[in-house]
Structure 1
Amino acid sequence: MRDMTTPVLLGDFKIDPVTQVLIRTTDNQSVKLSRSESLIICMLAKQPNVAVSRDALLEDCWTGKVVTNSSLTVAIKHIRSAFSELGADDVIVTEPKKGYLIRLSSVEELKLAENNVSNAVEKPPANDLTNSHISHATPDSPLKTSITKAAVFSRLTLLSKRYLVTAFSFTLTITTLSQMALFVESTRIDNHHVLYDGQIMPPAVINAIKAFPNPKSKFITYPLGGICDDYQLIVIDNKTGFIDITSQIEQGNCRG
């Protein structure tokens, strides 16, 4: 495993495993992470675009601690939220039956889009030279023609860069939704439709779903992590929206 004390650069982002802070280098905006979450990013950054198994991440990023698959699931969720808060939504990718990877190309595309916008804003100072000579130009002189072309080109450049950023944001959104579709699995329990993370649900969660009085309801359940492997259970109601019924799961008194 790589040195876990040296900051790692990922396009416009840097993760410092010592301070456990994810930083966007373009403006120094940052998000605080846990030690395990920082180590996960460092480990995935060792081989960008190559999936690392869940077992390997659990073994190397929680040294000396006994953890479960749900702990890794929650950690990945926090890492994705951190990147999303800093403007990148598809850096951490789930590879079904393989594990997780860092898609570095997405970070590099984001850097390219931001640099293009900044370059377009920085171009206008070239007009300072032409402005100093504009009083000497005749209506039909080549100088006036070049000034007009430069102004039109500058405006078209700004418009094209704005379109590029909009198109790029749309692409990120579509990619994120497709990755979520790969990550979430569905099943049926007593005619109830259940969305979950693909891990085996504990009996307490299954019993709570079976005991729900409304037939053919829709549920979302996912692990909260911790020592006891607690789960959250949410009902999707067509009239009232989302209803949290986690309290109806008999998960005992232990909390991680």
Structure 2
Amino acid sequence: FLDEQISQIYPLYYKYLSEYYRILGHRNNILKKEINQKKKKEKLLIWDPRLIERGSFLILTRIKFIKKINRLAHKFHQKITREKEDIKLTYQSNILKDQEENISSINKEFKDKLEEHKEKEIEQRTTLLGPHRDDFSVYINRFNIASYGSQGQQRTAVLSLKLSELELIKEKEGVYPIFFLDDVMSELDEDRRHFLLGLIIDKKVQAFITSINLDYFNSNIKEKSRIFKIEEGKIINL
């Protein structure tokens, strides 16, 4: 989720992400080679600074992105759930102790951690630290949604995050992107459907919405939409 969403908004992130995985591949190849430890360490010295530079940028960008997403997702989720639920994303970094927004500090911690785990990496023949091993979690009212969230809560959380992403793109580009919603309506109750569709109309977002039930859409929505039906492989304009 993180890499895909950030790359859509910040093209430089995708560039660094691609370079990071290329460097990671070279580093892992060195760790897998049947050569003595001294030669491995010498070869790793070539790639480690590059891995640290790209990786630190990825970590910092993720921290900033999640901070922005949390600000927007909180507002959307409160509205969708009528203030019954709160949402929060947390980023789990295997490099940082604290979520600091300082590239020099991240660089230093990354460098120190790599050095600290060098022997273990040589033993296990793979890179054990870096943003490729990081993860994120979504919490609803302080409960991890992956473990405790219902399907409806998970759908609503995804919706809040997607709406937040829309706003971030609007802030950066000045216009909303095209919004795709695939059979989301069946997972939302009437209040949440009403909020979502009202928001799409109010903000004049161009959206493509798939559903098997037209009754989910009120007359106001239908009047402002073009409706197509797919039947036996044919698209019919209603």
More helix by share: 2
Fold similarity call, TM over 0.5: no
Q: Smaller-chain TM-score range?
A: under 0.3
TM-score (normalised: structure 2):
0.26
More strand by share: 1
Larger Rg: 1
